[in-house]
Amino acid sequence: MKIVVLAGGISPERDVSLCSASLISNALLTKGHEVAFVDVYVGIEDENTDLDSLFQTPYSGKQFQYTIPEQEPDLEALIASHGGRRELIGPRVLELCKKADAVFIGCHGGMGENGRLQAVLDCMDIPYTGSGYLGCALAMDKNMTKVLLRQSGIPTADWMIYDPTKDSIEEVRNTIGIPCVVKPIGCGSSCGVSIVHTEEEWDAAITYAKKYENTCLIEKLIPGREFSIGILDGKALPIIEIRPKQGFYDYKNKYQANATEEICPAPLDDEQTKTAQGLALSVHNTLLLGNYSRVDFILSKEDGLFYCLEANNLPGMTPNSLIPQEARANGIGYEDLCERLVLSASKKA
């Protein structure tokens, strides 16, 4: 197959995307496919480039590599380096995608996860991996996710939306209280997320969240153990437990080596495992997600219930990311997982 792997973009998760997509590209080359790796924002700026020449063969000897820095990317500097261009899709990207049998979407956050990229590809009849535009839109909007979960009877922490242009922070403080979690309403990878333990931490948490979006979601902090559960082709994968060595599972702890202990299969009894996997599948179906996703939970130490934190319609896909670890525990290697996802994309055509 000829496969375009889309990466990058102008999302706070740009670096995560470039890392995941590089390794996905290598895995697909290993499986014998022809692969073109492209930054969806940067695009192919040279009009004289032969697009067919961008497809690497398994025998080209080329390997893609990208290391995630500790800090989120400076998107304004990136935009400035491209003449201030703010169009989300760069030159000739869609033209390149039309030459492929399928597109592997590796664009975490932003248009890669909120449904806009999927909608464009749908309009051009280009097959792609993962969820459709509607499922992506529902899962990326943390408020809409929680509304749908609450309506479906799936436990999730109490929350409020805070818009600084019209809402009173005092009302949020009085309703949700402390401790609480402050996060942008539509970001992933814990970008902009803070845990507020004291009154003095409010302002810094709101300022950090507003760095990414004006509207914040503020939810009650539920102390407990954190778990993540992948869904692959309608079935729950083995559960993984996440234990950061310091603080919580923030951007740094997610992507820097040895910052977090990840245990798979998670040390849960059979009843807990069955309950959590059933809830993960319910979340996946409620949000109309595609052939793979990842759902995150807290097991409350107060009442012993699993509370859904969020669903990820485009989870990280390095070999050490959570879904590949869970798939490996189920006997599915990384290269096979990447190929399985792209083969399912081609069937949608």
Residue 246: predicted pLDDT: 58
Six-digit token string for 169: 């922070």
Q: Compute the chain's Rg from CA coordinates.
A: 20
Average per-residue pLDDT in the chain? 89
CATH number of 139-156+223-313: 3.30.470.20
Where residue 347 falls among pLDDT bands split at 50, 70, 90?
A: low
Task: Write out pLDDT tens, residues 97-142.
Answer: 999 999 999 998 889 999 999 999 999 999 999 999 999 999 999 9
Residue 29: strand, helix, or coil: helix
320 or 226, which is more confident? 226
Strand partners of residue 5: 37, 104
Residue 249: predicted pLDDT: 46
Residue 348: predicted pLDDT: 52
CATH number of 2-130+334-346: 3.40.50.20
Report yes or no: 169 and 151 within 8 Å, Cβ to Cβ.
no
Mean pLDDT of 233-249: 82
Report yes or no: 20 and 294 within 8 Å, Cβ to Cβ.
no
Domain ranges of the chain: 2-130+334-346, 139-156+223-313, 159-220
The kind and range of the H/E element at 136 are helix 133-140
Six-digit token string for 28: 């697909």
347 or 35, which is more confident? 35
Q: CA-CA distance, 195 to 167, in Å (whole number)?
A: 20
Longest pairwise C-alpha distance within the chain: 63
Instruction: Decide if pLDDT at 14 tops 50.
Output: yes
37 or 320, which is more confident? 37
* CA–CA–CA angle 63, 337, 313 (5° rounding): 100
Class of the CATH domain delimited by 159-220: alpha beta
Residue 129: predicted pLDDT: 95
Which range, 2-16, 62-76, 242-256, 334-348, is most confident? Answer: 2-16
* CA–CA–CA angle 29, 115, 69 (5° rounding): 55
Class of residue 349 by CB neighbours under 10 A (exposed 0-12, middle 13-18, buried 19+) = exposed
Mean pLDDT of 66-87: 88
216 or 147, which is more confident? 147
Report the interhelical angle of 169-176 vs 202-210 (nearest 10°): 110
Strand partners of residue 57: none
pTM over 0.85: yes
Task: Write out pLDDT tens, residues 293-321.
Answer: 999 999 999 999 999 999 999 998 888 88
118 Cα distance to chain centroid? 14
What's 231's DSSP letter?
E
